[in-house]
């Protein structure tokens, strides 16, 4: 199940020198993490499990295995990945779609892990704090010089010196900060290769990714001032990386065929859900009878309203892999969104079973149970959804479905509380407070529900969010 929600995450207010700071493999301009309610996030059990399998050995090699580092998928078609806090790696779905091999995206994740292991974000904050102090001093000195010039009756002399005191230090500080960022990128490259080597993986994919960036940006960077770039100049960077990568004894090691198939299935799924139907068919024409191609075409068929044909195609996938939970999930999702929630229940139950109770799939099953006409499913839906949100507390859809289940049962206090929690996670603080305030009037004072509702009423917006 691929669905979107807004992620509550910290954003940064920096000096006038840098309007935003991200440690990225691609151009920073492609990152849209400065939205007031956080970047739009894509959630999918199959893709997230694959990314966990990709990052687990890398994080272990980096000494971050116990830090609960998460990989978050951003709804952006550009090839980019970045870190914006100390516990998450953000990767655009475009990077997943455009990575032809597991090794290519693993190399990107290894680079970003290098930023985390090096504590680059915290160190960059320290650099920015020092830069702010230096700017304030420069501005005060410049203002003092201009004031002295004004008192002396001069309109040039000291006044011009004061103006220079404003501009020269700012330029110097900017160059210093950008130089520091370039050094961090180089350090992350080296760390990434080190982690890949330690885990017996090739750095070829990492090199191929940066080589592609070099080819694409060579013209754009021609004549650019290397001291005004936040990343190393492309050719210099890729040459340095090439030497590191080729020195690894695993340079020629290929990805495991089974892992490559999972990667191809992930790319097909993203294409089916995120690309136009004509684009999907160009990428996966009918002459392509591979399992990934059939997966992508089945998804785009159901999304564009041909439910009967989609179910036939999905049943064909299940016939090939009868124990693949994501095929049953897709069948259930297609039926649910096709207006047949009762028919969606059986395949979704099978998907939950085969996926070892994956919470996002449980939420989808809970939605089908609530949407069916059988009120006898209500208690089961509530139990399942409560378990799911306990393990996935940042998924608004779980609370939304839980609110509907409680509403069907007539438990309006719990329904209001669940709706408030969903609104809070979406960043809609006003609606969350209003619903939580109403929930408080329905709960007994001091009860667990009342306390949770009171927490939402008194909660402050996350940094970067408006107190709307």
**Rounded mean pLDDT, 75-101:** 90
**Rounded mean pLDDT, 13-39:** 35
Give me 43's structure tokens: 């959630």
Give me 291's structure tokens: 């399992």
Cβ atoms of residues 263 and 102 within 8 Å: yes
- Is the C-alpha dihedral spanning 105, 106, 110, 115 positive or negative? positive
**pLDDT value at 465 more than 50:** yes
Q: Determine the 3-state secondary structure of 440 from DSSP.
A: helix
Beta strand spans in 309-405 (E): none
Instruction: Tell the residue number behind the tokens 């059988």, with chain if given.
Output: 374
Instruction: Tell the residue number behind the tokens 């399992």, with chain if given.
Output: 291
**Rounded mean pLDDT, 8-27:** 33
CA 297, CA 285: separation in Å to the nearest integer?
9
- DSSP, residue by residue, 250-308: TTTPPPPHHHHHHHHHHHHHHHHHHS-HHHHHHHS-TT--SHHHHHHHHHHHHHTT-HH
Q: Quote the pTM value.
A: 0.79
Q: For the chain, what is the radius of gyration of the CA atoms?
A: 26
**pLDDT value at 164 more than 70:** no
**pLDDT reported for residue 390:** 96
- Would residue 357 be called left, alpha or beta, if left means φ above 0 and alpha means ψ between -120 and 50 degrees? left
**pLDDT value at 210 more than 90:** no
**Rounded mean pLDDT, 165-180:** 51
pLDDT tens profile 380-391? 999 999 999 999
**pLDDT value at 163 more than 60:** no
- Would residue 81 be called left, alpha or beta, if left means φ above 0 and alpha means ψ between -120 and 50 degrees? beta
Give me 237's structure tokens: 């960077």
**Rounded mean pLDDT, 320-344:** 97
**Rounded mean pLDDT, 340-357:** 98
Confidence of residue 19 (pLDDT cuts 50, 70, 90): very low
Confidence of residue 244 (pLDDT cuts 50, 70, 90): confident
Q: Of 112-116, 164-168, 307-311, 339-343, which range is least confident?
A: 164-168
**pLDDT value at 18 more than 50:** no
Confidence of residue 29 (pLDDT cuts 50, 70, 90): very low
**pLDDT value at 229 more than 80:** no
Confidence of residue 230 (pLDDT cuts 50, 70, 90): very low
% of the chain beyond a pLDDT of 90: 60
**pLDDT value at 65 more than 60:** yes
**pLDDT value at 140 more than 80:** no
**pLDDT reported for residue 96:** 97
- DSSP, residue by residue, 33-74: TTSTT--EEEE-HHHHHHHHHHHHHHHHHTT-GGG--EEEEE
pLDDT tens profile 368-411? 999 998 989 999 999 999 999 999 998 999 999 999 999 999 99
pLDDT tens profile 46-57? 999 999 999 999
Confidence of residue 263 (pLDDT cuts 50, 70, 90): very high
pLDDT tens profile 267-282? 999 999 999 999 999 9
CA 433, CA 424: separation in Å to the nearest integer?
8
Q: Which residue would you say has higher pLDDT here, 459 or 107?
A: 107
> Which one, of 174, 155, 168, 30, lies nearest residue 92 by Cα?
30
CA 265, CA 459: separation in Å to the nearest integer?
41
């Amino acid at each position: 199940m691929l669905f979107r929600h807004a992620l509550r995450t910290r954003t940064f207010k920096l000096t006038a020198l840098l309007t935003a700071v991200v440690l990225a493999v691609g151009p920073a301009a492609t990152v849209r993490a400065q939205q007031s309610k956080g970047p739009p996030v894509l959630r999918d059990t199959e893709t997230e499990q694959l990314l966990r399998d990709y990052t687990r050995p890398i994080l272990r090699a980096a000494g971050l295995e116990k830090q609960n580092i998460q990989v978050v998928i951003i709804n952006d078609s550009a090839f980019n990945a970045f870190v914006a806090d100390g516990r998450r790696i953000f990767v655009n779905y475009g990077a997943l779609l455009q990575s032809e091999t597991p090794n290519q995206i693993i190399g990107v994740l290894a680079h970003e892990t290098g930023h985390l292991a090096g504590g680059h974000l915290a160190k960059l904050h320290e650099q920015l704090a020092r830069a702010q102090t230096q700017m304030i001093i420069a501005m005060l000195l410049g203002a003092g010089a201009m004031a002295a010039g004004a008192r002396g009756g001069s309109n040039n002399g000291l006044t011009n010196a004061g103006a220079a005191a404003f501009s020269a230090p700012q330029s110097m500080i900017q160059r210093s900060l950008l130089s520091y960022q370039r050094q961090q990128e180089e350090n992350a490259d080296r760390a990434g290769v080190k982690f890949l080597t330690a885990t017996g993986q090739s750095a070829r994919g990492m090199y191929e990714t940066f080589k592609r960036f070099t080819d694409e940006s060579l013209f754009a960077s021609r004549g650019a001032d290397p001291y005004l770039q936040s990343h190393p100049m492309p050719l210099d960077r890729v040459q340095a990386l090439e030497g590191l990568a080729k020195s690894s004894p695993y340079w020629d090691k290929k990805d495991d065929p089974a892992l490559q198939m999972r990667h191809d299935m992930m790319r097909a799924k993203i294409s089916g859900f995120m690309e136009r139907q004509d684009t999907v068919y160009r990428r996966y024409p009918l002459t392509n009878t591979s399992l990934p191609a059939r997966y992508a075409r089945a998804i785009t068929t159901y999304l564009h309203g041909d439910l009967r044909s989609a179910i036939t195609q999905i049943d064909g996938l299940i016939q090939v892999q009868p124990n693949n939970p994501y095929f049953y999930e897709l069948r259930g999702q297609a039926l649910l969104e096709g207006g047949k929630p009762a028919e969606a229940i059986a395949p979704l139950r099978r998907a939950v079973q085969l996926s070892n109770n994956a919470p996002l799939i449980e939420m989808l099953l809970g939605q089908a149970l609530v949407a069916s006409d059988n009120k006898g499913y209500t208690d089961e839906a509530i139990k399942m959804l409560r378990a799911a949100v306990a393990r996935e507390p940042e998924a608004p859809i779980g609370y939304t479905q839980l609110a509907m289940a409680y509403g069907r049962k007539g438990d309006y206090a719990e329904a209001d509380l669940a709706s408030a929690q969903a609104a809070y996670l979406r960043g809609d603080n006003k609606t969350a407070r209003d619903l939580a305030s109403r929930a408080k009037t329905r709960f007994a004072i001091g009860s667990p529900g009342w306390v949770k509702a009171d927490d939402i009423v008194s909660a402050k917006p996350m940094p970067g969010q408006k107190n709307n």
